[in-house]
Amino acid sequence: MKSALLSGLALLLALAGAAAAPGVAAAPRCGKVPGLAYVNLSEWARANGFAGRWTRTNETVELRKPAARIALTVDSRQIQINGIAVWLFHPVVAQAGAAWLSRLDADLTLQPLLSPPRGSPGARVKTVCLDPGHGGKDPGNQAGANPEKRYTLLLAQEVQKQLARAGLKGVLTRHSDTFLELPARPALAQRKRADLFVSLHFNGAARNPDTVRGAEVFCLTPAGLASTNADRPEAGANTFIGNRNNSRNLFLAYQVQAALVRNLAAEDRGVRRARFAVLRDAAMPAVLIEAGFMSHPVEGRKILTAAYRQQIARAIVEGLLAYKKAVERPA
Ligand SMILES: [Zn+2]
């Protein structure tokens, strides 16, 4: 009992200590989460070569340097990095005239996107495992007579074709309307020695189907933290195999989301984190793409057309190639 208390205290002290990085002040109890460490955004900006300013006092902040622009909003978890939405773990806080960002977001969200990992052994991208969501007895979302599983397979086949044109090998987790258990999908990726794992899905909105639309890309939530669609860490918020690639997962998700938003002019629902089974078990960098809403009257109709799926595939390949180019640069 006593030792458990002590280790709890040690953890709190360690979290508090993490805020006091050199040159970056800690915020005293500024957020809503007890014990959570924050960094002063303007000091963080200076330390990372950005110029920072309030674009609206106590409401919105902009950090700028020649190659990057970050827009943040107080009390919000959504930021924009070069115009693409990315979800934070914790909202930005305004206190004493300054804006504050959780240290976890500074280290696990901003840092991997601003200085992507590169040039390390194994960073080559040659084979991509494409995972058409659902199949067989699991139809996924159903839009009228059209099951998601049919269109994820058609999209995967199109991405595979376009990858081949770009000189990359695409391997599929299923080639027909068959049921595949979730753990079998990343396992197959590993057997095929895939360098990346990309699970393909289309969304469905039970509420407000006429207005909810757009693209979003998920990567695995780091251990102990809350997923984007949750308020607090879920039960079982542990470390999984996929967490070995936290930085690469996020960077890959960002590149694909950016390409989808720019090429499809799709509504930007942002880069998100979730503990989907296929992401937990993936030994290589992995993302899950929700390329659009089958439930939306306009977007849903487009998803049923080969022409739009070709556009989606082109965007996905462009995102994968952007990732490949960045990680294969010499260190
Ligand atoms: Zn799905």
The angle subtended at Cα 292 by Cα 286 and Cα 297, nearest 5°, is 165
Q: Dmax over Cα atoms in the chain, in whole Å? A: 64
pLDDT score recorded for residue 51: 96
- Are 57 and 26 contained in the same domain? yes
203 C-alpha to ligand 1 centroid (Å): 6
303 lies in a domain?
A: yes
45 lies in a domain?
A: yes
130 C-alpha to ligand 1 centroid (Å): 14
- Are 143 and 209 contained in the same domain? yes
135 C-alpha to ligand 1 centroid (Å): 10
pLDDT score recorded for residue 5: 34
- Are 41 and 140 contained in the same domain? no
17 lies in a domain?
A: no
pLDDT score recorded for residue 122: 60
Distances in whole angstroms, Cα of residue 285 to Cα of each of 198, 201, 265: 9, 17, 26
- Provide the domain limits for residue 321: 127-328
284 C-alpha to ligand 1 centroid (Å): 21
Q: pLDDT (tens digit, 9 = 90+) per residue, 250-305?
A: 999 999 999 999 999 999 999 999 999 999 999 999 999 999 999 999 999 999 99
25 C-alpha to ligand 1 centroid (Å): 43
- Are 263 and 151 contained in the same domain? yes
pLDDT score recorded for residue 24: 56
Domain endpoint, select from 48, 79, 114: 114
- Are 170 and 102 contained in the same domain? no
84 C-alpha to ligand 1 centroid (Å): 23
DSSP 242: G
213 lies in a domain?
A: yes
Cross-strand bridge partners of residue 85: 80
78 C-alpha to ligand 1 centroid (Å): 23
pLDDT score recorded for residue 79: 98
The CA radius of gyration of the chain, in Å to the nearest whole number, is: 21
pLDDT score recorded for residue 27: 55
d(CA 269, CA 266): 9
| DSSP-derived 3-state class of residue 5 | helix
Per-10-residue mean pLDDT, the chain, length 331: 35 37 53 81 95 95 96 97 97 93 96 83 86 98 96 98 98 98 98 98 96 98 95 88 97 98 97 98 98 97 98 98 91 73
- Are 33 and 146 contained in the same domain? no
Q: What are phi and psi of 27, to 5 degrees?
A: -90, 130
Domain endpoint, select from 86, 114, 142: 114
Q: Who surrounds ion ligand 1 at CB < 5 A?
A: 133, 140, 201
Predicted TM-score (pTM) of the model is 0.91
How many domains does one find in the chain?
2
What CATH number does residue 46 fall under? Answer: 3.30.457.10
CB atoms within 10 A of CB 322: 17
- Are 141 and 278 contained in the same domain? yes
255 C-alpha to ligand 1 centroid (Å): 21
